[in-house]
Amino acid sequence: MLSLIHVLANVATNGKIMATKGEKFAGLTVAMVTPFRNGLLDEPALRKLVDWHIEQGTDTVCPVGTTGESPTLSHDEHHRVIDVVCQQARGRIKVVAGTGSNSTAEAIELTVAAQKSGADGALVVGPYYNKPTMEGFYQHFKAINDACDLPIILYNIPGRTAKNIEPETIARIGELPHIVAVKESTGSMDAASQIIALSNLTVLSGDDSLTLPLLSLGGRGVVSVVGNIVPKDVKAMLAAWDKGDIATAQSWHRKLFPLCRDMLGLSTNPIPVKAAMQMLGRDTGEVRLPLTPLDAQQRESLAATLKKYGLL
């Protein structure tokens, strides 16, 4: 039986949660790392990661986002990563490609190319560095919306872009036909509550440690970093919540929290998650400058967390 807060947050009808606009992207989306070997894109490892996520039951993979080190990929590499992931997925898992840019023309080009590659959707970050007005944000997303018919997940992360997209503007952008969801990474439950109240967008957590609180407000899933390590456990938390088993969802949250903390607290994403994957034999751990590896003390702390979790 759904809890009262769950029913109220999701406007349940006949015992079922009312679907939001981007319901196909509810659940677990993993913000994939981009594997490198000797400074180059490691395509065999990338294909292996896609297959691993299919085996693990991940709902959606998201290549070339922040975790995929998109800022340091060349345009050719960016396109190639999306091509490889879509080819390897072959309809067995959904692919949402990172296609954002602070240049509207470039974001359009990347999004159109992702659609041609066979992506199921695009994750488009708010324009960074140039700090648009709210009207500028709207016109940016409208131009991308009008250029293709690929479902778009708006990604609001002011900690990286230097300017917040206000909830009222997100709701306005959400009226565009191809804007179906938002990756909410402000860390503000008030902002998430406003978006849910003002729109029919599917709201996805952009912070692993805040996924459960966001679900309680009416969120429908997460774009996860820790899902690179333990996707089955993140899915178990989401499934428990959807079943109304709040105690089990809370138990999973408490178990996952130390891992979530380390992924963002030890160093800049994706440095810790790549280090963890290296320790688990799933990646070389290479990151591109200006990112640098964890130092010895940080690695020791991460290893201790992985051991306590039961992964090492």
- Residue pLDDT, tens place only, 201-227: 999 999 999 999 999 999 999 999 999
Say how far apart CA 170 and CA 139 lie, in whole Å: 12
- The answer to whether 243 is a known catalytic residue is no
Active-site position among 94, 138, 155, 163? 155
pLDDT value at residue 265 = 94
What is the pLDDT averaged over residues 15-29? Answer: 85
Q: What's the pLDDT score for residue 10?
A: 44
For residue 7, pLDDT over 80 is answered with: no
The pLDDT of residue 5: 40
Mean residue pLDDT across the chain: 94
Cβ atoms within 10 Å of 159's Cβ, excluding its own: 10
Q: Find the angle CA(184)-CA(125)-CA(163) to the nearest 5 degrees.
A: 75
Please state, in angstroms and rounded to a whole number, the distance separating the CA atoms of residues 60 and 288: 25
Active-site annotation holds for 21: no
pLDDT above 70 as % of the chain:
94
**Domain spans in the chain, listed from the N-terminal domain onward:** 4-230
Over residues 145-160, the mean pLDDT reads: 97
Taking 60 as the threshold, does the pLDDT of residue 97 lie above it? yes
pTM: 0.93
Contacts 24+ apart (CB under 8 A), 268-273: 269/66, 269/67, 269/225, 270/33, 270/66, 270/67, 270/68, 270/69, 270/225, 272/298, 272/302, 273/33, 273/67, 273/225, 273/226, 273/228, 273/229
Q: Which of 21, 94, 163, 183 is flagged as catalytic? A: 183
Q: How far apart are CA 79 and CA 64, in angstroms?
A: 9
4-230 has which fold? TIM Barrel (3.20.20)
